[in-house]
Amino acid sequence: MREQIPAWYFDGEHLAALARQHAETFQQAMPYEHVVIDDFLPAEIAQRLVDEFPDPQDIEWDRGDQGDMRENIRNRYKLGHSNEEAFGPFTRHLILQFYSATFLDFLGQLSGIADFVIDPHYRGGGLHSTGCGGKLMVHADKSRHPNKKIDQVLNLIYFLNPDWQEDYGGHLEIWDEAFEHCAERILPALNRAVFFKSGTNTYHGHPQPLTCPPDRRRNSIAIYYYMIDRPRSEHFSGYKGFVDWVPTTVEERALPLEETRPQLFRFNKK
């Protein structure tokens, strides 16, 4: 018998008020559209998601690419899982609400984008987890959807890290197209939602190795939204078939290209 869980759904009026409050910030943000919204879900809902989040040994995680492939320590890997059957029952229920009509209406009001396409397979998204010493190089996403007429347009990262301290690191960094400076560093605190436009040059990551205690991990839920025949714009000239890794730290910039941007290197070698 399946575990009984409480039903929880987004409230349209509450989300509409949030959209009105944050739409201008999102649409005018530099170097590309993004916004951070704290206390995004009721505290008890956020805590239930924390309680269900699996440890590295609990499920068959996939190893995610970090950009810099020199490290070979399992705890430092970015782990990911996109199969909803491995999610906790309430987590599975909640993630489906991020695809609901009520929530898509909110995203449209927030971003000014209409007619989102959803991906029920959560390709590249779902649950993400990184351990002490791990990082994710700054990058622009590659095309994820198998239908090449469907382009990723918006990312949601929802953080699940109670009592996350500033000195633990793991800040999500928003970088300019010229890689000259980090425009914003966002602490991955519990119940914090980050929405940002995804495109050819919307660079982001957490390139500084985590300095959290060994028993802590940087956990999040990632949801990606799409549209059909996305028009070209300042931040979108068509997706590449590879992740565009960019060295931004002193250590990364000292490495040869093939060590810091392996996918791009392999792509160019073909």
Q: Please check whether residue 4 lies inside any domain of the structure.
A: no
Q: Is the dihedral of CA 237, 241, 243, 247 positive or negative?
A: negative
Mean of the pLDDT values across residues 166-187?
94
Q: Which two tokens stand for residue 73?
A: 């320590």
CB 117 within 8 A of CB 215: no
Q: Is 153 strand, coil or helix?
A: strand
Q: Is 100 strand, coil or helix?
A: coil
Q: What is the pTM of this model?
A: 0.90
Q: What percent of the chain has pLDDT over 70?
A: 87
Given the structure tokens 């929880």, which residue do they identify? 8
pLDDT value at 148 more than 90: no
Q: Please check whether residue 171 lies inside any domain of the structure.
A: yes
Q: What is the pLDDT of residues 224-249, one digit of tens each?
A: 999 998 888 888 878 877 777 887 77
Predicted local distance difference test score (pLDDT) of residue 267: 33
Our measurement of the distance from residue 30's CA atom to the centroid of its chain's CA atoms, rounded to an integer in Å, reads 18
Task: Please tell me the total count of domains within the chain.
Answer: 1
CB 118 within 8 A of CB 155: no
Higher-pLDDT residue of 69, 121: 121
Mean of the pLDDT values across residues 23-51?
98
Q: Please check whether residue 3 lies inside any domain of the structure.
A: no
Given the structure tokens 């039903």, which residue do they identify? 7
pLDDT value at 125 more than 70: yes
Distance CA 214, CA 132 (A): 6
Torsion angle in degrees (nearest 10) through CA of 22, 15, 47, 99 = -110
Distance CA 253, CA 178 (A): 14
Predicted local distance difference test score (pLDDT) of residue 69: 45
Q: Please check whether residue 228 lies inside any domain of the structure.
A: yes
Burial class (CB in 10 A: 0-12, 13-18, 19+), 259: middle
Report which secondary-structure segment, H or E, holds 222.
Answer: strand 217-228
Q: What is the pLDDT of residues 63-97, one digit of tens each?
A: 765 555 444 445 556 899 999 999 999 999 999 99
Predicted local distance difference test score (pLDDT) of residue 76: 57
- The HSE-up count of residue 81 (CA atoms within 13 Å, CB side) is 22
- Which CATH number is 181's domain given? 2.60.120.620
pLDDT value at 255 more than 70: no
Q: Please check whether residue 5 lies inside any domain of the structure.
A: no
Its domain, for residue 91, covers 12-269
Distance CA 192, CA 161 (A): 9
pLDDT value at 19 more than 90: yes
186: confidence class by pLDDT, cuts 50, 70, 90: very high
Q: Please check whether residue 1 lies inside any domain of the structure.
A: no
Higher-pLDDT residue of 256, 40: 40
pLDDT value at 270 more than 50: no
Q: Please check whether residue 69 lies inside any domain of the structure.
A: yes
DSSP state of 19: H
Q: Please check whether residue 240 lies inside any domain of the structure.
A: yes
